[in-house]
Amino acid sequence: MISDNAVLDLMAHSSIPVDETILGNPANEETDTLQYWIQASAYLLNFVSADPGLSRLPIGEEIKALLLFWKTEGLAASQASLENAALDLSYFGPVGKAVWYVKDKADPQFKKELERFAINPTSEIGNHYLFYIVGTLAANGYELGFVREAGQQNKKTPDLWAEKSGKRIWIEANAKQPVRTIDSAEREWQLIRDIIAEKKQKFSEAIYNPGLIVADVTPIAHRINRPGTFGTAPMLKINADCCEPLGDGGLICRLYNDPDWASRPENRDNVFAFLVQEFAAIDRSKYHLEQCLVTVSRRVVRDGNNLAFPRQHQLVVAQSSETSAVTELSRSVYVV
């Protein structure tokens, strides 16, 4: 946890000691999420406090109050206080992790995205998710960079590029709170259709080939984010002969070898089925979009003295790009 000296530093508005050995080992985020995100939040606070622009914003005081809570009350707090503080930690922790990993912290586009996260309520969900993806990829050995916005040129550009083993992929992140209640299969499908239709435009130029959309569908996944389905493909039934194991307990399923997949009742009217259908229908002679990752989050889960924030990943890949699938992002890969 945070040391007594660190508490004094917080009170005195000094830089807080951060154990970067914890941040440098991605396994710690799984085995000791609470400690990992506390250190990541402390790193973010130090970064914000040292930046002339960010230091004037409320975000610094918000992180400071959060870190004081975990030192002075922590897991002994009431259930309501603990849950609120855990959600705040899940908000700042992934951003601090990403900032720690970003190599070029002077990059103007990086600074712009961080400022948006800090000051713009209408975009904070999307920017938080963008930094979650940055941290996830970086922890898996990817080198990353932010794509500068085209501005008045009216060109659509993706958010990021990521490179590993000499192979580069371009990434567009999407996470929004729907403006209307998503309470039917028809509305779920419409929202998935809108995400694909909007985001594929970012990959109309060959320079952004191959492209990957990452989208959080937690707000619309009410029928799959429940006990019994979390951690597996939602309501999915595939011919076992079409699937084979990947490393680390993963699975790759080739839906193009299962012609009856779409006709099974279990594979109808759910978010994942809609995604597969919309992704498969993309005209790849016009749009260089080869992969799509969807994520679903769950609220905090307490496990003894640790907290977990499960997030389910499902990756859909075009058949032509199967060998380039970003398998580090998902243990479940579906090729269409």
Q: Do residues 335 and 317 make contact, with C-beta atoms less than 8 angstroms apart?
A: yes
- Are residues 176 and 136 part of one domain? no
- Are residues 191 and 100 part of one domain? no
Return the pLDDT at 123.
Answer: 75
Return the pLDDT at 10.
Answer: 52
3-state secondary structure of 170: strand
State which of 140, 165, 190 marks the end of a domain: 140
Single-letter amino acid, residue 91: Y
- Are residues 162 and 136 part of one domain? no
- Are residues 154 and 136 part of one domain? no
Q: Residue 106: how many CB atoms within 10 A of its CB?
A: 8
Which residues span the domain enclosing 192?
Answer: 147-336
- Are residues 55 and 172 part of one domain? no
- Are residues 203 and 86 part of one domain? no
**Closest to 216 measured CA to CA, from 140, 313, 150:** 313
Distance CA 132, CA 126 (A): 10
Return the pLDDT at 1.
Answer: 52
Distance CA 212, CA 200 (A): 9
**Which residues of the chain fall short of a pLDDT of 70?**
1-14, 121, 151-154, 176-183, 219-236, 298-311
Return the pLDDT at 13.
Answer: 54
Q: pTM for the full model?
A: 0.85
Return the pLDDT at 8.
Answer: 47
- Are residues 267 and 157 part of one domain? yes
- Are residues 175 and 116 part of one domain? no
- Are residues 154 and 129 part of one domain? no
- Are residues 280 and 131 part of one domain? no
Return the pLDDT at 165.
Answer: 92
- Are residues 170 and 78 part of one domain? no
**Spatial CB neighbours of 116, under 8 Å, sequence gap ≥ 6:** 123, 124, 127
State which of 81, 113, 140 marks the end of a domain: 140
State which of 140, 169, 198 marks the end of a domain: 140
Return the pLDDT at 154.
Answer: 63
Helix and strand numbers (H, E) in the chain are: 10, 11
- Treating both helix axes as pointing N-terminal to C-terminal, what angle do 4-11 and 59-72 enclose, rounded to 10 degrees? 150
Total number of domains in the chain: 2
- Are residues 243 and 170 part of one domain? yes
